[in-house]
Structure 1
C-alpha cells in the first residue's frame, strides 16, 4: 500500500485528463505520474531510502504535487512545511524529523537553507524557472511498495506546551480518509469535477481533502498560490470550479466581495468548510450570494484530518460539525478518559482508521494523547440526540488566525528571548476578518523600555507572518494563580 498508487492508477485510467493546473500551465495525469517518477529518482539520488524523511516547503504550485508524490513513490516520508517559516522553525522540524533533505521554493530559500544548515539536512532549491530542466535530468524509478502502517506523512502540530510535534500519518490513514471524503455524501468528487486548490497543500485540509481526493478520483485541481477573493472568483469562473474547500475567512471574503456579480460562479456545486468554526451568519451570507451549499466538517492533523461532517444526504445543522464519518467513532470524555453523561459537555475523543500512529519520536506525548485507540482532541463539545456535535470551547489555548493554527507557548518563548521582556502571555482575541487575532500582554524588566512596534518587529523576524502578535499591551503585572501560573482567562484586552 502506497498512497502514490492513487496517482499511478488514475494515470492509467484517465491519462489525458488534466490533473493539476495553475493559470495557463497544465499537467495531465499521465504527465504528472511521469514527472513524479523522475522526482522519485531525484530523491533516491539524494541518498533517501524507504522510510527516510524528506521535507517540502512550497506554495500551491504544480511542483508541490510533483515532489510530494515523488517522495512517496520512492518510499520516503513527506514532511510538509509552511513556506512562511523562519529559519529556526525550519531547523526544528528538520532536526526533529531527522529529514535527510528539504525541497524548498526559491522564494523562501534564505530561511530554508539556513534551517537546513542548522539541522544538517540537504537543501534543494526549487526554482520554477529551472526546475523542469533539473527534473528531466533524473532517471524515473518504479513505485516502492509500502505497508499500510508505514508512515506516509509527518505533519507538525502542537499543543499549548513545548515545541511542535510531528503527527505520523500512515498510508492507511491517508488513503482511507481520502476515500471516505470523496464519497457523494461528503465532499463528493469524481472524474470531470474541478476542485479549487486555494487551501495550502502543506496543510492537511488542502492536502487530503483537495489534492489527494482529486488524484484519487481523477478530478482536476486548479491551484491558487495566494488567496485573494477577486483572483479566486476569476479561477472559479474561468475553470468552472465545481467543488470548493475553504476556511471561514475565505468564505467571509467571498461573501463580501463587491465585484462577485462580475463573475459566473454557477458551476459551484458544493463547498466544504473546516479549519475553524464557521459562523452561521457567514454560511448564510455566502449561500445567499453564490447559491451553493457549504457543508461544515471537523478534524485535526492527527486525524488525517476529517473526523465528522455535515453529510450531504442528511439534515445539515448550521453551527454543528456534523456526525462522525464512515468508519470513525467519536465520544465525549472527562479528564480521566471516562465518557461523560448524555447531554453534558466533554472533550471530543476520536477512534478510527484516520487516527495517527503517534507523535514521531515522542512516546510520552503519544501516550498522553492516545489511550486504547482513542485520541483526545482538546476540543470541548456537546452532542444532540441525533448525534450531531457542537464545539463550545477549546481545552487547549490554541489560536486559529485565518485558518492557521498559532500556538501561544511558541510565541511566548520568542518574546521571552527579547532582553526587555520579563513575562509574556499570548492570547487570542476575536477578529472580524481573521476569526482570531494574536495578542501579547507583556511586563518589562526594571529599567527597560521598548515600544509596541519594536516588539512586533522583533517577533516578525522570529516566526511566520501569520503568527506574530499584532496587538501588544504592556502591563505592570500578569494575573497569577496560587501556583504562579499565569491565568490567561483573567486577561482582558482593552481597545
Structure 2
C-alpha cells in the first residue's frame, strides 16, 4: 500500500468528487478547482527545474494556494518546506541556506524580506498573485513515484532557543498521522470548520493531511491570519462547527464580545500546540457551548502523538496515543516510537542520535500515563524551575494565575538567584477593562500554593510575548527578567 501524499490527494478527489470545499475572503473554491490547479502547478514546478527530492519553500499567509501548492509539490515528488511568515532576515537566510531549497512560493507581502534573505542563493521564486500563474499554464502532470520513507516535508523548529533545526518527515509518517487525526475528527461528527492556524506550521500541515483522509465532504473556511473578531463573524456567517486552535487563541476569543454573535453551530475545538490551562478550557466550553478536545505532539512526531475524541476524553489529559504511535514514560520523560517519528534532523546526525535512542524519540516533556492509557503532560524539562532544591513546574503557577478573574495570559519562568539557585517569577496580561497589581497577584498565588512554588514577582505587561504560532515565548520572558 502506498503512503505517497500525492496519491492520497488524488484518491481524496476521486472519492469525494466535485463540491464547494474552501471559502476564502469572499470566494468559494471547489474541490475540482483545487485538484486541477494542483496538477498544473506540479507540471509547472517540473518545467522550472524542480526534481524529486528538491526542497520547495512555502512561505505565505494562509491562502488557497497553500492547499494547492502542498498537493503540487508532493505530486512532483518534491519536499514541502513550510516557513512561518514571521521570520527575521537572518533566521530566514539560515533556513534557506541550510535546506538547500531550489524553489520558493511566497506571498507578495513577503517579497522584500525574502529577496534580501535569498540574495545570491539562486532560488527560483514564485509570488502568489504574480508569476505563480506561470506555474499553471501547462498540461496537468502525473504523480512522481516516491517511497514510503522518502522525505515529504522539512520543517524548521526551535528558532526561539537557538538556530532553527530542520525536522525530516516522511510520506508514511505524515500519512499515518493524518489518518489518526481524521479518526479523532470523525468522532466529533463535524464537517464545517474554520482554519485560523498558520498552514505553514506542523499543526496546520497535519490538519490539511487529515482532511485528505476523510470519507466525508469537509468544508473549510480559511483565515489569512488569526483575527478574533473575524473568527466570530465567520463562525456565525457560515454556521461553522469546529476549529483547530492553540490556547492563546481561546484566550483572545474569550476577551471578545462573543455574546453578540450567533455561535450556536459550534460543537468542538481541537486544542494543540501548547498545554491548555484548565481555567481556559472551562471558560471556553461554557462560553461557546463546545467540547474542547486536547491533543499533544511536536514537529518531530509529525505534529501529533495523542488526542482526545468525543468518546474518549478525560479531565487534564491529552487523550490516548493515536493508533500508529507508541508512548512510554522513561525516567519521567515522554518518549515516542512509531512511523510518525521523524527520519532525523537535517544535516545533524549527532543531534539525531541524542534525540532518538534505541528507537525511542525523547521529547523533552515530562509526563505520565494512567492505567487506561491516557497521557498527561506535566511540563517541558527545559522549563522546569529548581528553587532551593524543589521542582517547580511553570504550568502549575500559570494555572493558578489564570484562576484570577483579571488575568488573561500568564507565563512563569525561572530567574537566576544566588540564594535559591532559581527564583520563580511570572508575567501576566490582563483581560480588557480589568485591573490588578503584581503585588496583588503574588498574594493571590501565595494563598493557593506551597511556599516554595508561588512566584515572588509578577509583572503586568500590555502583552505577554508569543511565538509566531501563538505559544508563550519563554525565552523572551526570561530575557525581560534578565534586563530588569
State the TM-score bracket (shorter-chain normalisation). Answer: 0.7 to 0.9
Kept in 2: contact 1:307–1:324 (CA 8 A): yes
User: Cα distance, 1:156 vs. partner?
Assistant: 0.7
Distance in 2 between residues matched to 1:202 and 1:391, nearest whole Å:
25
Cα gap change, 1:102/1:213 in structure 2, threshold over 3 Å: closer, same or farther? same
Residue 144 (structure 1) aligns with: 144
Which of 359, 370, 379 is matched with 1:373 structurally?
Answer: 359
Aligned-partner SS, 2:92: helix
Q: Residue in 2 aligned with 1:169?
A: 169
Distance 2:322 2:29 in 1: 32
Question: What is residue 372 of structure 2 aligned with on the other side?
Answer: 386
For residues 276-302 of structure 1, the C-alpha deviation after alignment (integer angstroms, 9 at most, x for no partner) is: 110111111111111110011100001
Give matches, 1:188-199, under 5 Å.
188=186, 193-199=191-197
Does structure 2 retain, via aligned residues, the 8 Å contact 1:60–1:223?
A: yes
- Does 2:355 align with 1:358? no
Q: For 1:102 and 1:42, how far apart are their aligned partners in 2? A: 13
How many Å separate the matches in 2 of 1:230 and 1:269? 19
| Residue aligning to 1:441 | none
CA contact (8 A) 1:299 1:308 kept: yes
1:380-419 correspondence to structure 2 within 5 Å:
380-397=366-383
Following TM superposition, by how much is the alpha carbon of 1:32 offset from its aligned partner in structure 2, in angstroms?
0.6
1:157 aligns with 2:157: yes
Matched, 1:42 2:55: no
Residue by residue over 1:366-418, the C-alpha shift from the partner in whole angstroms, topping out at 9 and shown as x without a partner, is: 11111222100001123333333322221235999xxxxxxx9xxxxxxxxxx
Contact 2:91–2:163, Cα closer than 8 Å, also in 1 = no
Change (3 A) 1:190 1:320: closer
Normalising by structure 2, what TM-score? 0.78
Q: Equivalent residues in 2 for 1:82-231 (5 A)?
A: 82-126=84-128, 128=129, 130=130, 133-158=133-158, 162-183=162-183, 186-188=184-186, 193-208=191-206, 210-217=207-214, 218-231=217-230
Give the CA deviation at 1:474. 8.2
Report SS of the residue matched to 2:111.
helix
On the 8 A contact 2:81/2:155 being kept in 1, the answer is yes
SS of 1:4's partner is helix
Cα distance, 1:230 vs structure 2 = 1.4
Q: Structure 1: how far apart are the matches of 2:294 and 2:480?
A: 35
How big is each residue's C-alpha offset from its partner over 1:55-109, in whole Å with a ceiling of 9 and x where there is no partner? Answer: 1101111111111111111010010001111222221111111110111111111
Q: 1:471-482 residue pairs with structure 2 within 5 A?
A: none
Distance in 1, Cα, partners of 2:5 & 2:27: 25
Residues 268, 385 of structure 1: CA spacing in aligned structure 2 closer, same or farther, 3 A cutoff?
same
- Contact kept, 8 Å, 2:244 with 2:269, in 1: the verdict is yes
1:427-483 superposed Cα distances (whole Å, 9 cap, x missing partner): 99544479xxxxxxxxxxxxxxxxxxxxxxxxx9xx9798794786586xxxxxxxx
Identify which of 253, 273, 276 aligns with 1:275: 273
Q: 8 Å contact 1:12–1:30 — kept in the other structure?
A: no
Which of these residues, 35, 56, 59, is aligned with residue 54 of structure 1?
Answer: 56
What is the SS of the residue equivalent to 2:382?
coil
Determine helix, strand or coil for the equivalent of 2:178: helix
What TM-score does the superposition give when structure 1 sets the normalisation length?
A: 0.76
Gaps of 5+ in 2: 385-393, 396-412, 414-423, 432-464
- Find the aligned partners of 2:131 and 2:197 in 1 and give their Cα distance: 23
Distance 2:149 2:480 in 1: 48
Specify the SS of the correspondent of 1:295. strand
- The equivalent residue for 2:328 is 331
Count residues with an aligned counterpart: 410
Question: Does the C-alpha gap of structure 1 residues 160 and 15 become closer, same or farther in structure 2, counting only changes over 3 Å?
Answer: closer
Alignment equivalent of 1:303, drawn from 301, 304, 308: 301
Match of 2:405 in 1: none
Moved more, 109-118 or 132-141: 132-141
Residue segments in structure 1 that go unaligned for 5+ positions in a row: 335-345, 401-407, 409-426, 435-459, 476-492
Matched with 1:65 is 67
Contact 1:299/1:306 (CA < 8 Å) preserved in 2?
yes
Aligned to 1:26: 28
Deviations 1:145-190 (A, max 9, x none): 211111100111138865211111111011111111111xx22279
Change (3 A) 1:282 1:464: closer
What RMSD in Å do the two structures reach over aligned CA positions?
A: 3.1
Asked if the contact 2:197/2:469 (under 8 Å) is kept, the reply is no
1:331 Cα offset (Å): 1.2
